[in-house]
């Protein structure tokens, strides 16, 4: 008897389900032809093939194709013709619940009431809010899709004319994108449940036919990445005080996630995911890769390796073992970027300097050399004492042994007690 692994995507393989003799064979075929998907502990997400169905059993038969009959399949009310699930909260909840069954997530981790506080938008509403998703409204683009600036009424959330209502950020899923529907569901699940001043607020979503969109509060100053690196080290620098404020805000958000009743591993902490409001208050965004932390006596969760080069913890890259301390490593990299004004990875730098951590780490332990890594444009505002304390904190975050890294709470307390204003010379 076949054990069926379901995923909340419609089948896009001409109405066929492929049964293959091994997971590896299925993985290879999936990547080549997009005719099947695997959902198993060793192949967690189906982003590459956008959500067809994979079957497995203890003694699988030879390759076999089975035509799908009927109008619906087993993935939360969607049809095999990809007409999409209906636009309501219960369908989104069921879709997430089905997806986590294949993701080694505890049965207690369910969408439940998370979507109740969110606005359900129609596609036409969001089309009107962005003036038909015109190119002039684009404010960002990533693996998930394109982000547009739109306007809605602050009270009713109905579409408004540009400049007449409340600005919002509307993320529209690319159907062939790298992240996909599962990450869209994850954003709704986590941001629908988690509310904090240092997490970007999710206002609502759209799940109409093939359309998958998310609506967030608008962060007027964009990402930390844009401000910290926009002019290189030759242009105007982000003030030191602002950098430390952003570090403290990011630490607040991370400490909240790690200290939740069900601790959450962010998994995608980087400069481009830290967004800034008009007062440079920082908020963590993009929770498509987030996961619940290990349960009970477990020290990690095993997952498919995803993330951004330069930020991911080495043990995660080597084994796929993910823990709260993986986030701590990423935070250390971001803090190092704030101190140096340099990107975590840059192929344009000389050999040996491409990866910031490998290049700078020897300076972190030497009090006499630590000022050499501080962004020269702000050095006059930083004392040697403060720079060295920061270097020690970064070095702890980047420790090769995850257990030796500090907790998010410790980082927060250290940063809160660290800064000593220095008069510019």
In the predicted model, what is the mean pLDDT of residues 207-212?
89
| Mean pLDDT estimate for the chain | 77
Give span(s): CATH 1.10.510.10, the chain. 224-416
Question: Is 172 annotated as contributing to ligand binding?
Answer: yes
In the predicted model, what is the mean pLDDT of residues 274-303?
88
Domain 224-416 CATH superfamily: Transferase(Phosphotransferase) domain 1 (1.10.510.10)
pLDDT over 50 at 330, yes or no: yes
| Cα 280 off chain centre by | 21
268 catalytic? Reply is: yes
pLDDT over 90 at 72, yes or no: no
pLDDT over 80 at 346, yes or no: yes
* Burial environment of residue 113 by CB neighbours within 10 A (0 to 12, 13 to 18, 19 or more): exposed
In the predicted model, what is the mean pLDDT of residues 84-88?
43
pLDDT band for position 164 (50/70/90)?
Answer: confident
The pLDDT of residue 308 is 87
pTM above 0.85, yes or no: no
pLDDT band for position 11 (50/70/90)?
Answer: very low
**Class of 114-217 per CATH?**
alpha beta
The pLDDT of residue 246 is 98
Between 60 and 410, whose confidence is greater? 410
Between 369 and 15, whose confidence is greater? 369
Least confident of 17-21, 156-160, 192-196, 377-381: 17-21
Of all helices (H) and strands (E), which one includes residue 46? none
The pLDDT of residue 296 is 66
From first CA to last CA, the distance across the chain in angstroms is 77
Query: Among residues 268, 286, 327, 375, which one is catalytic?
Result: 268
Taking each continuous run of H as one helix and of E as one strand, the counts in the chain are 11, 16
pLDDT over 50 at 84, yes or no: no
Give span(s): CATH 3.30.200.20, the chain. 114-217
The pLDDT of residue 304 is 79
Residue 344, sorted as left (phi over 0), alpha (psi -120 to 50) or beta, turns out to be alpha
pLDDT band for position 419 (50/70/90)?
Answer: low
């Amino acid at each position: 008897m076949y054990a069926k692994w379901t995923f909340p995507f419609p089948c896009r393989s001409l109405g066929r389900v492929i049964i293959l003799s091994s997971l590896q064979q299925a993985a290879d075929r999936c990547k080549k032809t997009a005719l099947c998907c695997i959902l198993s502990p060793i192949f967690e997400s189906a982003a590459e093939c956008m959500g067809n169905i994979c079957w497995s059993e203890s003694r699988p038969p030879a390759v076999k194709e089975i035509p799908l009959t009927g109008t619906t399949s087993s993935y939360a009310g969607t049809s095999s013709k990809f007409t999409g699930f209906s636009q309501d909260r219960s369908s989104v909840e069921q879709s997430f619940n089905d997806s986590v069954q294949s993701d080694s997530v505890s049965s207690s981790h369910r969408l439940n009431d998370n979507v109740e506080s969110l606005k359900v938008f129609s596609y036409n509403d969001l089309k009107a809010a962005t003036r038909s998703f015109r190119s002039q409204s684009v404010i960002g683009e990533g693996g998930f899709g394109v982000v547009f600036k739109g306007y809605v009424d602050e009270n009713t959330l109905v579409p408004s004319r540009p400049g007449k209502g409340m600005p919002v950020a509307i993320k529209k899923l690319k159907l062939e994108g790298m992240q996909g529907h599962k990450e869209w569901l994850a954003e709704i699940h986590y941001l629908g449940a988690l509310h904090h001043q240092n997490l970007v607020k999710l206002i609502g979503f759209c799940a109409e036919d093939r359309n998958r969109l998310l609506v967030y509060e608008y962060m007027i100053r964009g990402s930390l990445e844009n401000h910290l690196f926009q002019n290189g080290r030759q242009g105007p620098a982000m003030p030191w005080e602002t950098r430390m404020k952003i570090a403290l805000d990011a630490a607040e958000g991370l400490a909240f996630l790690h200290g939740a009743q069900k601790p959450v591993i962010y998994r995608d902490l980087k400069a481009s995911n830290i967004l800034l409001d008009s007062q440079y208050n920082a908020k963590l965004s993009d929770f498509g890769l987030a996961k619940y932390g290990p349960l009970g006596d477990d020290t990690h969760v095993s997952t498919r390796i995803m993330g951004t080069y330069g930020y991911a913890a080495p043990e995660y890259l080597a084994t796929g073992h993910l823990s709260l301390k993986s986030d701590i490593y990423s935070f250390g990299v971001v803090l190092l970027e704030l101190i140096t004004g340099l990107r975590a990875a840059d192929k344009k730098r000389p050999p040996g300097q491409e990866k910031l951590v490998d290049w700078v780490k020897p300076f972190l332990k030497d009090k006499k050399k630590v000022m050499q890594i501080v962004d020269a444009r702000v050095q006059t505002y930083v004392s040697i004492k403060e720079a060295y304390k920061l270097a020690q904190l970064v070095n702890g975050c980047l420790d090769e042994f995850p257990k030796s890294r500090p907790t998010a709470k410790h980082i927060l307390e250290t940063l809160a007690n660290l800064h000593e204003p220095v008069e510019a010379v």
